[in-house]
Amino acid sequence: MAITLSENAAKRVQKFLDQRGKGIGLRLGVRTSGCSGMAYTLEFVDEAQPEDLAFESHGVTVLTDPKSLAFIDGTELDFVREGLNEGFKFNNPNVKNTCGCGESFNI
């Protein structure tokens, strides 16, 4: 059971956290909405919740709730650049299919 960050993603998250000036880590999650079932959420964390599960990856704390973990266990979060656009990408081994744009997915 684990969620990891690529080295590149960890560096960016650390930089964003430093710039933000507060926050204890990064929250990955899943919620049910979107055109193909489920969608990822990616947020800064100011306060951990009692039920949270924590992982450490390249020095960054990653939190998720147990319900989300079932859907994203084994995920590696990467930071990539595509042309002018840049951002985070979920490499989730549990995914069976995604909607055309990849913003939501099915298991």
Partner 1 sequence: MALLQIAEPGLSAAPHEHRLAIGIDLGTTNSLVATVRSGETAVIEDEAGRALLPSVVRYMHGDSPEVGYEAQLRQSDDPHNTIVSVKRFMGRGLKDVPGAAATPYRFVDAPGMVRLETRAGVKSPVEVSSEILKVLRSRAEAALGGELTGAVITVPAYFDDAQRQATKDAARLAGLNVLRLLNEPTAAAIAYGLDNASEGTFCIYDLGGGTFDVSILRLRQGIFEVVATNGDSALGGDDFDERIARWATEQGKVAELQVTDARLLLSLARKAKETLTDNDSARITAALASGQELDLTLSAETFFELTADLIAKTLAPTRRALRDAGLGVEDIDGVVLVGGSTRMRHVRSAVGEFFEREPLTNLDPDKVVALGAAMQANLLAGNRKADDWLLLDVIPLSLGLETMGGLAEKVIPRNATIPVARAQDFTTFKDGQTAMSIHVVQGERELVSDCRSLARFELRGIPPMVAGAARIRVSFQVDADGLLSVSAMEQTSGVQATIEVKPSYGLSDDEIAGMLQDSYTNAQRDIESRNLREQRVDGLRLIEATQAALDQDGARLLSDVERISIERAMETLRVLLNQSDYGAIKRASESLNRATAKFAARRMDASIQSALSGKRLDALEA
Q: Does position 90 bind partner 1 by CB under 8 A? A: yes
Q: Does position 52 bind partner 1 by CB under 8 A? A: no
**Spatial separation of the C-alpha atoms in residues 51 and 75, rounded to whole Å:** 20
Considering beta carbons, is residue 56 or 103 the nearer one to partner 1?
103
Q: Taking the C-alpha atoms of 82, 41, 11 and 16 in order, what is their torsion angle to the nearest 10 degrees?
A: 100
The H or E element that residue 8 is part of is: helix 7-20
What does DSSP say about strands 104-106 and 85-91: parallel, antiparallel, or unpaired? unpaired
Stretch that binds partner 1, among 53-61, 66-74, 80-88 (CB under 8 A): 80-88
Q: Which residues bind partner 1 (CB under 8 A)?
A: 12-13, 15-16, 19-20, 26-27, 29, 31, 33-35, 39-47, 80, 82-90, 98-99, 101-104
